[in-house]
Amino acid sequence: MITGKNYIGEELSGKGDVTFKTFDPKENKETAAIFTEATTQEVDAAVEKAAAAFKVYKQKSDAEKAGFLEAIAEELEANAEALKEIYRAESGLPEGRSNGEFARTTGQLRAFATMLKEGSWVEAIISNPEGKPDIRRMQVPFGPVAVFGASNFPFAFSTAGGDTASALASGSPVIVKSHPLHAGTGELVSEAIIKAAKKTGMPDGVFSNLNSKGIEVGEWMVKHPKIKAVGFTGSYKAGTALTKLAADRPEPIPVYAEMGSINPVLALPSALEAKGDFWAEQYAGSITAGCGQFCTNPGLILGIESAALDSFVEKLGENLSNLAPSVMLSPGIQNQYEASKSEVLAQEGYTEVSKYDGEVAPNFGRQQVITVSGANFLQNKNFHKEVFGPFSVVVKCKDKTELAEVLQQLEGQLTGTVLNSEEKELSEFATIIDTLTDTVGRIIYNSVPTGVEVCAAMTHGGPFPATSNAKFTSVGLTAVQRWVRPVSFQDWPQALLPQALKDENPLGILRNINNKYTTDSL
């Protein structure tokens, strides 16, 4: 049952007088539950509990933390149908999406548990050559982490999503600011996390969930002196505001913000000549997937003027015209989509390729694609802006030189894609491809950017403004590195060393001993 209250550790609390409801965008009506926004006192209580819990939780073994993560996955699965039902009601997303995202959420919890059981993630290094100090280094957790739920992934990037899973894996307690679009989903997920914490003997305060429809609760969290790091997925405006807030604290803290991307696609001539119709169909599907509300939506397609490019654009338009629009996450997001689109369409010098003119239900997003010349794209940065929804710009460059200039002007991106059919062409465009690689966190060959695999090798990040720190990823096992810092132990007694640094290597993990990687004891 949804109470509408906040989880302050294990305690349900609703002391505030600011309330709100979530909204079913598909049915175009409010949902039934009433949620109470957290007060400053409740924020303080949650952070104080987290700080106290940190002293206990950081001492838990990796095996114990792994058990906690696995228990969360099990509790989520025990209430799967109710969770998916409220997920769909609060997001308008279809059953297939709810099933897939739910599986991804439990899967990444178990993936971090597996990582913990293996143990090498702490990056143990031992340096003790004869006649020198004995220095041993490993990663340790920062402390309480504030996590902001994302609007477009109520499961996988929110309450028990990648930020929470990776922070808990590191040994850091988590306080989630639940996203107001899916506060009911957030509460039910929080209930599962609290049950798992109790079952596995985790300290009260290892997890809290706070409701908020405005920005104040998030600001209070980031400014609290006992919060040590922040995870955020959302808009550029909100991400940069949080980053500045964290930097202006007496003790600045890191904010790992994923803030958006237009995900340029480099369509080389051979790809369009050999498989133009195929790529047109693939990209029509990618542009409209999830009504364009993925951070990896292909918002920019780049090519060189040719009959093949013209044919690709025509087929792309036909495919898009044949696809029925789908619902967006909320009336506010749909309104923002129309406003952002209108801002681009107010510019001069573009050609409309495809526009869905049919009737649509409230909160549905009409897909659209336009073309613009390379020269106009270079002269007008309004064509560079992200439009969060099913919208894309095809840039027709007159030659390779102009294509290179366009790529050099782009800001940091989450992904970049290269479409190609002839190997020799890759060498001809090597410098241009290298420029694209310098701009992105993930470079894709002959595919679409939508879809992010959860694995150890994944980088879901990129140069600013795609993220606030290009060194880290918010998806995949190395996401844990955002919540830890290295500590060196010099000439420390064996009895007091962490297990990962003891001579006998009781954990059996891979370590760097005097510049050699080994699982051997010292």
pLDDT exceeding 70 applies to what percent of the chain? 100
Tell me, yes or no, whether 113 and 184 share the same domain. yes
CATH of the domain at 362: 3.40.309.10
Tell me, yes or no, whether 324 and 367 share the same domain. yes
User: pLDDT tens across 106-119, in order?
Assistant: 999 999 999 999 99
Look at residue 399 in the predicted model and tell me its pLDDT. 97
Is residue 35 pLDDT above 90, yes or no?
yes
Please state the rounded mean pLDDT for residues 93-100.
97
Tell me, yes or no, whether 374 and 415 share the same domain. yes
Relative to beta strand 174-177, strand 145-148 is parallel
Report H helices in 227-347. Answer: 236-247, 269-288, 307-321, 331-345
Tell me, yes or no, whether 300 and 360 share the same domain. yes
Tell me, yes or no, whether 46 and 152 share the same domain. yes
Instruction: Tell me phi and psi for residue 516, to 5 degrees.
Output: -130, 125
β-strand partners of 300? 264, 393
Tell me, yes or no, whether 253 and 331 share the same domain. no
Tell me, yes or no, whether 185 and 39 share the same domain. yes
Q: Please enumerate in sequence order all residues whose Cβ is within 8 A of that of 59, keeping only pairs 6 or more positions apart, or say none.
A: none
Look at residue 358 in the predicted model and tell me its pLDDT. 86
Task: Give the pLDDT band (50/70/90) at residue 143.
Answer: very high
Does residue 387 sit within a domain?
yes
List the one residue out of 37, 32, 5 whose CA is nearest residue 21: 32
Q: Other C-beta atoms within 10 Å of 70: how many?
A: 20
Please state the rounded mean pLDDT for residues 483-492.
98
Is residue 368 pLDDT above 90, yes or no?
yes
Tell me, yes or no, whether 175 and 241 share the same domain. yes
Give dist(CA 358, CA 287) in Å, integer. Answer: 18
Is residue 513 pLDDT above 90, yes or no?
yes
Does residue 156 sit within a domain?
yes
CATH of the domain at 159: 3.40.605.10
Give dist(CA 512, CA 116) in Å, integer. Answer: 18
Tell me, yes or no, whether 12 and 64 share the same domain. yes
List active site positions: 258, 295
Look at residue 468 in the predicted model and tell me its pLDDT. 98
Look at residue 443 in the predicted model and tell me its pLDDT. 98
Tell me, yes or no, whether 251 and 315 share the same domain. no
What is the reported pTM?
Answer: 0.97
Give dist(CA 289, CA 91) in Å, integer. Answer: 15
List the one residue out of 356, 359, 380, 379 whose CA is nearest residue 369: 356
Domain boundary residue among 408, 428, 445? 445
13 to 76, 325, 405, 474: CA distances (angstroms): 22, 40, 56, 30
Tell me, yes or no, whether 319 and 236 share the same domain. no
Does residue 502 sit within a domain?
no
Look at residue 23 in the predicted model and tell me its pLDDT. 98
Look at residue 234 in the predicted model and tell me its pLDDT. 95
Tell me, yes or no, whether 380 and 434 share the same domain. yes
Look at residue 312 in the predicted model and tell me its pLDDT. 98
Structure tokens at 260: 């958006």
Does residue 458 sit within a domain?
no
Instruction: Tell me phi and psi for residue 143, to 5 degrees.
Output: 140, -165
Is residue 469 pLDDT above 90, yes or no?
yes
Is residue 356 pLDDT above 90, yes or no?
no
Give dist(CA 416, CA 402) in Å, integer. Answer: 18
- Mean pLDDT (the chain) is 97
The number of distinct structural domains making up the chain is: 2
Does residue 511 sit within a domain?
no
Does residue 512 sit within a domain?
no
333 to 153, 161, 346, 387: CA distances (angstroms): 14, 21, 20, 11
Does residue 498 sit within a domain?
no
Please state the rounded mean pLDDT for residues 451-475.
96
**Which residues span the domain enclosing 395?**
264-445
Look at residue 419 in the predicted model and tell me its pLDDT. 98
Does residue 124 sit within a domain?
no
Look at residue 357 in the predicted model and tell me its pLDDT. 84
User: pLDDT tens across 285-303, in order?
Assistant: 999 999 999 999 999 999 9
Look at residue 474 in the predicted model and tell me its pLDDT. 97
